[in-house]
C-alpha cells in the first residue's frame, strides 16, 4: 500500500461553531445593528453549550466588531456594524510584515486606498441587490 500524506484536520471548537451561527444570523440580517441578543441562558439552551463556551463565542464576535458586549445586570450582546479602523490597521500590519522595506506611512496610505476601493465596489453592488430584492 502506498504511503499517503495525511493532512491535518481542523475540528472547530464549540465556541467557533456558535460564533459562526450567530455571525450567519447577522449576515443574513436576521439580527440587525442595535438588536440585543437573547439572554445568555437562552443562547446556552438554544446552542446546547456551557456559559464559558458561549462567552468565548461572544468574545470572538466582539473581536470582529460584530457585537458590543455590555457588562452588568442590563448587559448582554448588542449587534453592531464594524468600523473601518481595525481593518485598516490589519491591512497596514500585513503590508509591514509581508513587504520588506515598506514604511508605516506608505502602508497606511495603501491600506486607506484599499478601503476606498472596497467602498466603491460596495457602492456599485448595492443597487443591484435592491433590484433583486424588489
User: Could you tell me if 118 and 126 are in contact, meaning their C-beta atoms sit under 8 angstroms apart?
Assistant: no
Q: What is the pLDDT of residues 20-59, one digit of tens each?
A: 999 999 999 999 999 999 999 999 999 999 999 999 999 9
Instruction: Please give the pLDDT value at position 71.
Output: 86
Instruction: Please give the pLDDT value at position 68.
Output: 93
Low-confidence ranges of the chain (pLDDT < 50): 129-134
Would you list the domain boundaries of the chain?
14-79, 85-133
Third-level CATH fold of 14-79: Arc Repressor Mutant, subunit A (1.10.10)
Instruction: Please give the pLDDT value at position 9.
Output: 87
Instruction: Please give the pLDDT value at position 10.
Output: 84
For 36-45, the CB contacts below 8 A with 24+ separation are 36/76, 36/77, 36/78, 36/79, 37/67, 37/76, 37/77, 37/78, 37/79, 39/76, 40/76, 43/18
Amino acid at each position: 500500500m502506498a504511503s499517503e500524506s495525511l493532512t491535518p484536520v481542523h475540528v472547530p471548537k464549540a465556541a467557533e461553531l456558535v460564533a459562526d451561527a450567530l455571525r450567519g444570523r447577522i449576515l443574513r440580517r436576521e439580527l440587525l445593528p442595535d438588536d440585543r441578543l437573547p439572554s445568555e441562558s437562552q443562547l446556552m439552551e438554544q446552542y446546547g453549550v456551557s456559559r464559558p463556551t458561549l462567552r468565548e463565542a461572544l468574545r470572538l464576535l466582539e473581536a470582529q466588531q460584530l457585537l458590543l458586549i455590555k457588562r452588568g445586570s442590563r448587559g448582554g450582546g448588542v449587534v453592531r456594524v464594524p468600523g473601518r479602523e481595525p481593518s485598516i490597521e490589519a491591512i497596514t500590519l500585513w503590508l509591514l510584515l509581508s513587504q520588506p522595506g515598506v514604511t508605516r506611512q506608505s502602508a497606511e496610505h495603501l491600506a486607506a486606498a484599499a478601503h476606498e476601493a472596497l467602498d466603491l465596489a460596495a457602492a456599485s453592488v448595492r443597487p443591484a441587490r435592491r433590484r433583486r430584492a424588489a
